[in-house]
Structure 1
């Protein structure tokens, strides 16, 4: 169990805007704006969450801006490094779990699809048989009618 608490910080729809805000001239303001009102513990959790949200990329502008602000607030480099390491490991672990879960779901979908295909094949076979019976019956009736007309 991680000693940091994950709460989504960078949502996919806000990621691009936050990246721009965390880059260049705005970099210093970004960290302050996002972290200033938070307790020291919550600030560390935000950094941890941000790293996980940007797929473990410690060099991402959002992570860099938050890290810079936290460093300026006096947090030891070893604590920040621990957050980075833990977040990356947790991201990889969650990613592996998600990949495994996705694979499991994909296998289930494939099994259902194969079963549906089998069912569809059976339905198609039955439809062809019925069509052949109808065609045979129509041909038989046509022959009978021809014979009656000849008689």
Structure 2
């Protein structure tokens, strides 16, 4: 089974360049792919057979062509790999999944500061001469 972790964006671009140079039918025939109109790869306004392009990109990356029956995970995996490499792959109308419905949330209101039911502790007493906090005796340790 082929894995495509070694396939980079550059390898896919090389496969697309060869696809353009040979033409679609000759490209598919040269590498033994049958036409697959589902999940076309769209690049610079042109549409390409995504399975064949990914299989040939695998060849550029590893030296070994990945035939369609070796794609691990099927077309979903191939589409995911191409999208991760920055390419647009469209899904056929029959395969499109409905977009998940989002439930609108009510706008958030800012929280008011927490109010404590306990009374705030009294402010500490300060010596009028040196401005030090007074001990519990109420007599300044420095000035007395």
TM, length-normalised to structure 1: 0.30
Task: Looking at secondary structure, tell me which structure has more strand per residue.
Answer: 2
Larger Rg: 2
More helix by share: 1
